Amino acid sequence: MVEQILVSVSRFLPEVTLTVTFCVAILGGLIFHKHPKTVGYLAFIGILVSIFCAVQQLGVSESVFSGMISVDPFAVFFKILIGSVALIIIAFSFFSAEVLTTVRRMGEYFSLLVAMTLGMFLMAGASNLLMMVLALELTSLSSYILAGYTKEAADSSEASLKYILYGALSSGVMLYGVSILYGLTGATDFIGVNKALALGTTSHVSLLVATIFIIVGFGYKISAVPFHFWTPDVYEGAPITITAFLSVASKAAGFAMMIRFFKVTFIDTHMVGLPSGMWASVSGFEWNKLLAILSVLTMTLGNLVAVWQNNLKRLLAYSSIAHAGYMLMGVVILSDKGLAAVLIYFIVYLFMNLGAFLVVMMVANKTGSEDIDTYKGLGYRSPLVGVAMVIFFISLTGLPPTAGFIGKLYLFSALLDAKWIWLAVVGAINSVVSLYYYVRVLRNMFLRDPEGNAGPLVFPTPQLTLLVVLMIPTILFGLYFTPIVNFANASLLMFGIQ
């Protein structure tokens, strides 16, 4: 027993590092309250080390802590992804006027950021129903506080409260679903659940109810329609660094957990390798159709509502809902091709979405506004930022020669390969709609003159450097993407599936 725990801990190093970093950050906040940025550096180093530990786990595939957590290429992929996002967000935080105004509480801010990262790492690996709920709660609780971090601002507090209410409700529903599933199968680990389901003796109706309840929890985390209502308000009200973090990392963790849950519990291990085996143990209900409908609703609503937004943060919030819809298309298929497409999309999405948020943050720092009118003539007031925004938006639309196109290309390929042609067509039409609102911003930036006699905007070099760092991969992966494709393909392996 002890031996097993010791072995498990050695496989648990990334999370252990984060836990230590969390404690150090809290203490650091007390010690360095005169130099609060120091805590940020500590957090940065801690996360960097944990990514390093995660990289060491590449190629490992085993289960630790009696099946609570899986350490496999799939989990490692998401840990690296989430860790990288966390690093970039810490860098963002050093630039954010919003965060810097609350100097006194910055230790708290960075420690919570680390806690949230820890929660997401656990989500990526969770292979037990209880672990799943715990990891989700850890992430959510930290993010509730962070969403309301600038408590002086009314909309931030409102965002936080809304977030808690929706979060509490949906995790309650999910927990209920989990308890039903446990009652049906007598197991809490995914593989046990899978074995029990494979006997085919479970009641279809209760299984249906349980699974739909669990989907509510996932849907809330990845902000899929109709569980998305919290997203726009929270994204608008939260500090922009947190918004960016939620829109990429939190979504990635949600997807990781959802994909693992579906794939490991619902696959018929006797029929592995066959697409039809994918949902075999829950036959009698067409799960992939349900997901397809969710995906269509999510992207269509996200895109259509985004068209009406004038606040850039809100616009990006709806756009990120739409992107969750695109990625859900990959989950619908749940084949290796579909999952690889989702992973590729996440890598691409990291750069383009964070890049867009960085521009919004930089502009808001200077002008204090996120309104679309602020962007009038931005392309001339600061050409580099303007061009960067063009690249990020073209990529978010999914046009070549940017990385976003590659993401869409692989998603569509997977769909067409699995004969989901109508879904691919819906996805394509949605991209056209999305172009409209992205172009509205670009139009203001380049085709409209600045209001009044607004002069050039000068941004500090570190911010511009970070911008370029995000911009280069957005272009580069559009032209040469073999490495990310290979990385994604190598990361499909999950513990429990041969």
Partner 1 sequence: MISNFIVSLVTFFPLLGIVLLLFVDKEKAQIIKLVGFITSLATFVLSLHLYFHFDSQVAGFQFVQQFVWIGGLNISYHVGIDGLSLLMILLTTFLTPIALLGTWNSIERRIREYTMMILLLETGMLGVFASLDLFLFYVFWEAMLIPMYFIIGLWGGQDRVYAAVKFFLYTLFGSLLMLVAIIALGYFASTMRGGAFTTNLVELYSVASRLPLTLQLWMFLAFALSFAIKVPLFPFHTWLPDAHVQAPTAGSVILAGVLLKMGTYGFIRFCVPLFPDATIVIAPYISVLAVVGIVYGALVSIVQTDIKKLVAYSSVSHLGFVVLGIFAMTEEGMQGAIIQMVNHGLSTGALFLLVGMIYDRVHTRKISDFGGVAKLMPVFASFLMIISLSSIGLPGLNGFVGEFLILLGAFNSTLLDNHAFAAFAALGVILSAVYLLWMYQRVMFGPVREGGLYNGHTLTDLTRREIVALIPIVLFVVWIGVYPETFLSKSAEVAKRTVQLIETTQRGAPIRYADSPDSSREPLH
Whether omega before 401 lies within 30 degrees of 0, making that bond cis, reads yes
- Rule CB under 8 A: say whether 482 interacts with partner 1: yes
- Rule CB under 8 A: say whether 468 interacts with partner 1: no
- Rule CB under 8 A: say whether 275 interacts with partner 1: no
Considering the complex, state which of residue 172 and residue 401 has its C-beta at the smaller distance from partner 1: 401
Q: Which of 168, 428, 458, 472 is the binder for partner 1 (CB under 8 A)?
A: 428
Distance between CA atoms of residues 331 and 345, nearest Å: 12
Q: Which of 443, 460, 465, 468 is the binder for partner 1 (CB under 8 A)?
A: 443
- The stretch among 29-37, 119-127, 369-377, 432-440 that binds partner 1 (CB under 8 A) is 432-440
* Residue 363 CB partners (closer than 8 Å, separation 6+): 312, 369, 370, 374, 375, 378, 385, 457
- Rule CB under 8 A: say whether 5 interacts with partner 1: no
- Rule CB under 8 A: say whether 416 interacts with partner 1: yes
- The stretch among 112-120, 291-299, 326-334, 408-416 that binds partner 1 (CB under 8 A) is 408-416
Q: Report, in Å, the least distance between residue 224 CB and partner 1.
A: 23
Considering the complex, state which of residue 155 and residue 336 has its C-beta at the smaller distance from partner 1: 336
Q: Report, in Å, the least distance between residue 134 CB and partner 1.
A: 38
CB-count exposure of residue 419 (10 Å: 0-12, 13-18, 19+):
exposed
Q: List the structure tokens of 144.
A: 């509730």
Q: Report, in Å, the least distance between residue 339 CB and partner 1.
A: 15
Binding mask 376-395 for partner 1 (x = CB under 8 A): --------------x---x-
Q: Which of 413, 454, 459, 490 is the binder for partner 1 (CB under 8 A)?
A: 413
* Residue 6 CB partners (closer than 8 Å, separation 6+): none
- Rule CB under 8 A: say whether 449 interacts with partner 1: no
Q: Which of 417, 464, 469, 475 is the binder for partner 1 (CB under 8 A)?
A: 417
Q: Which of 44, 92, 392, 446 is the binder for partner 1 (CB under 8 A)?
A: 446
- The stretch among 170-178, 196-204, 257-265, 427-435 that binds partner 1 (CB under 8 A) is 427-435
Query: Phi and psi dihedrals of 318, rounded to 5?
Result: -65, -35
Distance between CA atoms of residues 85 and 82, nearest Å: 5
Q: Which of 209, 399, 464, 490 is the binder for partner 1 (CB under 8 A)?
A: 399
Q: Which of 5, 58, 165, 447 is the binder for partner 1 (CB under 8 A)?
A: 447
Its sign, for the CA torsion 192, 195, 198, 199, is negative
* Residue 412 CB partners (closer than 8 Å, separation 6+): 424, 427, 428
- Rule CB under 8 A: say whether 308 interacts with partner 1: no
Q: Which of 59, 186, 226, 401 is the binder for partner 1 (CB under 8 A)?
A: 401
- Rule CB under 8 A: say whether 436 interacts with partner 1: yes
Distance between CA atoms of residues 221 and 143, nearest Å: 11
Task: Write out 322-350 in H/E/C secondary structure.
Answer: HHHHHHHHHHHHCCHHHHHHHHHHHHHHH
- Rule CB under 8 A: say whether 307 interacts with partner 1: no
Q: Which of 354, 337, 310 is nearest to 412 (CA)?
A: 337
Instruction: Please state, in angstroms and as integers, the Cα–Cα distance from residue 448 to each residue in 71, 100, 373, 381, following that order.
Output: 52, 32, 10, 12
Inter-residue contact 124 to 78 (CB < 8 Å): yes
Distance between CA atoms of residues 208 and 494, nearest Å: 24
Q: Report, in Å, the least distance between residue 437 CB and partner 1.
A: 11
Considering the complex, state which of residue 261 and residue 481 has its C-beta at the smaller distance from partner 1: 481
Q: Which of 171, 205, 199 is nearest to 185 (CA)?
A: 199
Distance between CA atoms of residues 44 and 241, nearest Å: 15
- Rule CB under 8 A: say whether 13 interacts with partner 1: no
Interface residues toward partner 1, by CB under 8 A: 390, 394, 399-401, 405, 408-409, 412-413, 416-417, 421, 424-425, 428-429, 431-432, 435-436, 439, 443, 446-448, 481-482, 485
